[in-house]
Amino acid sequence: MKQRTGSALRLASPLRALVHRLALVLVMAAAIGVMVLGRANGPMVSQARTAVSDAVAPILGALSEPVSFAEGLFANLEELVDLRAENARLRIERQRLVEWQNIAQRLDAENRELRNLLHFVPDPRSSFISARVIGDHTGAFVREVLISAGEKSGLRKGQAAMTGDGLAGRVSEVGTRSARVLLLTDINSRVPVMVERTRDRAILAGDNSNRPQLLYLKPGLSIQVGDRVVTSGDGGAFPPGLPVGVIDRISDGVVSVAPFVDWDHMEFLQIVDYGLDGVLSDDPVAAAAEAASAAPAPSAPPRAP
**pTM of the full structure:** 0.55
Looking at residue 304, what is its pLDDT?
40
> Residue 256 and residue 99: Cα distance in Å, rounded?
35
Banded pLDDT at 53 (limits 50, 70, 90): low
Average pLDDT of 182-194? 93
Looking at residue 2, what is its pLDDT?
46
> Helices 43-118 and 2-39: crossing angle, nearest 10°?
70
- Where in the chain does DSSP place strands (E)? 127-136, 144-147, 160-162, 167-174, 179-183, 190-195, 201-205, 213-215, 228-231, 243-251, 254-259, 268-273
Average pLDDT of 269-279? 80
pLDDT exceeds 50 at position 296: no
pLDDT tens digits, one per residue of 116-145: 777 766 666 778 889 999 988 776 678 899
